[in-house]
Structure 1
Amino acid sequence: MNAILRSISFIFHPLFMPFFGVAFYFSKTPRYIPDSYIKAKLTALIILTIILPLLLFYLLKTLGKVKSIYLSNVNERIIPLILNSIILVFIVLRVLPSNEFIELYFFFIGILLSTLSCLILALLKFKASIHMMAISGIFMFFIALSIHFSKNINGTLALFAIICGAVATSRLHLKAHSNIELIIGFCLGFFPQLILINYWL
């Protein structure tokens, strides 16, 4: 059971969630988008949201600024969150501007707002769950997409509701967060996406 719960924390690590959300969008959108264009966008996102943050993490680890990719210490979170915010700004300005994919543009604006909120709390010495923030944000985005595209994805939504619970259980089991840190993390991810649907739904 311990191995399973550790695997859940790794599989649904926040680094993977933005890419997964975009891939899901392209799989469900009724718009015609050339495969080459989709591949170019997904490749750019893999580089910017997964590979680059990992490289920056190993640089920070070499410099002694962080110890673990899970950023267990609240002080370790500040620099990675700042760097991630800069990456997200670049994505919304260059990779997914509003005139191309309005849904994805506001999805990443929501991620940026969540990240900045988490950064502010880190500066105040509060360690909100980034895992819950990521999974709840993508969960709300999927709900909005199902309404926007008038598609029945109830199976996917039910699965993600279960995943949200599994991630919370995993983080509690690993003693990475308290109940309140998980709840605050969930709210930080969920509500920015909920508020921003007013601008594109």
Structure 2
Amino acid sequence: MIHYLLKSISYIFHPLIMPLLGLVFYFTKTPRFIPEPVIRAKVFSITILTIILPILLYFLLKTIRQVESLDLKTTKERIIPLILNVFITGLILNRVLPHDEIPELYYFYLGILFSSLACLILAILRFKASIHMIGSAGFFMFAVALSIHFKININGSIAVMCIILGAIATSRLHLKAHTNAELLMGLFIGLVPQLLLLNYWL
């Protein structure tokens, strides 16, 4: 029972959904007026680019035998998906979330881009940082920054996120997907870019 629960946590909080969660979290917490059609368009575009397109690309890579499974168990399997993710995130920054439109979201996705590049470099160097931890840690740091930026009390949400971070780490260790060092590196890579970019929008 515990095994299936911990395994389900890895799927429920998959890295693919974290960029979309950050976007939705922003729109639900921002005190700024943003027209409903704009919100719907952004959510639709990000859903297509960060979830639907990567899934389609995964099946293409699996068909041509560049990846074995969705877990991307080896560093070699990670290189092409991470390169594609870097290009997709760059496209989002250029077309969907330009700097002068919603700066908070622009820098959130810029942090994602830097995290993806760091993870790619480590994969090339044959170190498998936890992408689960990268995604969840980046989202966590963005949520904390938003609470400070907009002066809103989301302590409950932040507490839940801390529990989720712990659950994800426990899940990845239980499934023997990562070592402690790989989880800590993932946490570091997820947090630090978001933290450094706070200087530009907080």
Partner of 2:166: 165
Q: Which residue of 1 aligns with 2:5?
A: 4
The runs of 5 or more residues in structure 1 that have no matched partner are none
Other-structure match for 1:179: 180
Question: Counterpart of 2:33 in 1: which secondary structure?
Answer: coil
> 1:117 corresponds to which letter in structure 2?
A
Question: What's the CA shift for 1:55?
Answer: 0.3
Q: Using the TM superposition, give the Cα deviation of residue 34 of structure 1 relative to its aligned residue in structure 2, in angstroms.
A: 1.1
Q: Deviation string for 1:59-106 (max 9, x for gaps)?
A: 000000001111111100000000000000000011000110000000
Query: 1:149 & 1:67 partners in 2: Cα distance?
Result: 44
SS of the residue 1:32 aligns to = coil
Match in the other structure for 1:196: 197
- How far has the Cα of 1:39 moved from its partner? 0.5
- The number of aligned residues is 201
Matches of residues 57-72 of structure 1 in structure 2 within 5 Å? 57-72=58-73
Give 1:108's aligned residue: 109
- Spell out, residue by residue over 1:105-152, the C-alpha distance to the aligned partner (whole angstroms, 9 max, x if none): 000000000000000000000000000000000000000000001000
Moved over 3 A (4+): none
Cα distance in structure 1, aligned partners of 2:42 and 2:137 = 23
Which residue of 1 is the match for residue 42 of structure 2? 41
SS state of the match for residue 7, structure 2?
A: helix
The answer to whether residue 122 in structure 2 is matched with residue 121 in structure 1 is yes
1:89, 1:68 → 2: CA distance? 25
**TM-score relative to the length of structure 1:** 0.99
CA distance in 1, matches of 2:58, 2:7: 20
For 2:201 and 2:133, the matched residues in 1 are separated by: 24
- Distance across 1 between alignment mates of 2:42 and 2:8: 28
Q: How does 1:137-156 map to 2 (within 5 A)?
A: 137-156=138-157
Q: Does 1:85 align with 2:52?
A: no
Q: How many percent of aligned residue pairs carry the same amino acid?
A: 60
